Amino acid sequence: MESDYHRPWTSATPGGLQVVIPNFKLNNGLEIPALGYGTWLGLNEKGEFIVEDAPKLVDALSYAIDVGYRHIDTAHLYRVEPEVGSVVKQKIQEGVVKREDLFITTKVWNSEHRPEDVEKSVKASLRRMGLNYLDLVLMHWPISVSAEGVDEKIDYLDTWSGFESVLKQGLVKAIGVSNFNVEQLTRLLANCQVVPVVNQVEINLNLGQKELVDYCQKNNILVVAYTPFGRMVPSRLDTTCPAIRHDDPIMLDIAKKYGKTVQQVALRYLYQRGICSIPKTLTKTRVVENASIFDFQIDDADVATLREFDNNYRTVRPVFWQNFNNYPFDKVNVDITEIPLSLRKWKNGANLDID
């Protein structure tokens, strides 16, 4: 995947602070910043959406645009499309950006997999964000699940025809997929009219997914990494799993060598693999830190060391779907829990009152 250093996405705050983020070129000729701002606020231990963090998201996203972020990743599921739209509108009104400066991605949820429902979903996202078009829309999962939690068994090829339709209508500039495995991508490429520009999947030091990344890059599909830190950040720490920790001595040594943080090393490693990342944070210092990875190069020896952390450990594993058609991951021997209501039915916005 080509990286373009000639047209960096950059800006400056009134105080002069700025980050410079290079671009990747997509297979349709469009450019996407190599690092974006992720807007998933997450669920609490009860499986409820953490709506109380929405104001923090607005503040952090606004700051991110001020300092130079131009790539925003959201989804219908995330509930925050209205907040994303309000920040974008404000920044355009302030003259910080023009609409065409931004690359905005959203996703169609599992309950909207019928071709006609894809169009309804995209139009609803546009309405919630107050936009005339989207830069990229992804099929969030290859699985089709009704709001009642029933496996609808809709073929993702049929769903993809709906994506091709919204592209043809000009509602979106690019279409892609998320959480597709090699087998599913192979079948999609053999039966589609438009090749997806992106496959957004979990990629981090513990889950390198070399086969999938190699396949995507061979077919000129950009890999976008969600959960790029895995469980490395302290808030995700789980001492019962084999994931790398933020205080791992090997990581600390490598970070010290380059004068960076362990999180910056993790993001830079993905970038050097030709992978775009969408880290999320509500902390302004982290906003700048995450984007300050384009001024150093990890040497080959350290790349080899980092590669050794790959142990195929998934941070995101929705086992409640694993017996559904088109579940993309390997199955594990666990008790299957009920699909959380928060992944089936919801309203949008900080007050959870917007359809």
Average pLDDT over residues 113-136: 98
Nearest residue to 72 via CA among 52, 50, 92, 44 = 92
Taking the CA atoms of 262, 268, 274 and 277 in sequence, report the sign of the dihedral they define: positive
If pLDDT is split at 50, 70 and 90, which confidence band does 234 have? low
Residue 10 has pLDDT above 60, yes or no: no
| pLDDT digits 0-9 by tens, 328-343 | 999 999 888 899 999 9
Q: Residue 243: what pLDDT? A: 72
Average pLDDT over residues 226-244: 76
In the chain, what percentage of residues exceed pLDDT 70? 93
Ordered alpha helix ranges (H), the chain: 54-67, 81-93, 115-129, 156-168, 182-191, 210-218, 249-258, 262-272, 284-291, 300-307
Q: Residue 6: what pLDDT? A: 32
Residue pair 134/105 in contact by the 8 Å Cβ criterion: yes
- How far CA 202 is from CA of 134, 180, 190, 242, 296, in Å, comes to 23, 10, 24, 16, 24
Residue 16 has pLDDT above 60, yes or no: yes
- How far CA 351 is from CA of 90, 158, 161, 347, 354, in Å, comes to 20, 34, 34, 9, 8
Residue 81 has pLDDT above 50, yes or no: yes
Q: Residue 5: what pLDDT? A: 33
| pLDDT digits 0-9 by tens, 266-320 | 999 999 999 999 999 999 999 999 999 999 999 999 999 999 999 999 999 999 9
Residue 271: active-site member: no
Structure tokens at 9: 């996405």
Catalytic residue chosen out of the listed positions 78, 226, 269, 313: 78
3-state helix, strand, coil in the chain (%, to 5): 35, 15, 45
| pLDDT digits 0-9 by tens, 188-205 | 999 999 999 999 999 999
Q: Residue 136: what pLDDT? A: 98
Q: Name the most confidently modeled range: 8-12, 104-108, 239-243.
A: 104-108
Residue pair 315/231 in contact by the 8 Å Cβ criterion: yes
Q: Say which amino acid occupies 38.
A: G
In the chain, what percentage of residues exceed pLDDT 90? 88
Nearest residue to 162 via CA among 144, 147, 149 = 144
- Average pLDDT over the chain reads 93
Average pLDDT over residues 12-34: 87
Cα three-residue angle 316-321-323, rounded to 5 degrees: 130
Residue 250 has pLDDT above 70, yes or no: yes
| pLDDT digits 0-9 by tens, 39-72 | 999 999 888 999 999 999 999 999 999 999 999 9
Nearest residue to 75 via CA among 292, 205, 226 = 226
Superfamily for the 3-228 domain: NADP-dependent oxidoreductase domain (3.20.20.100)
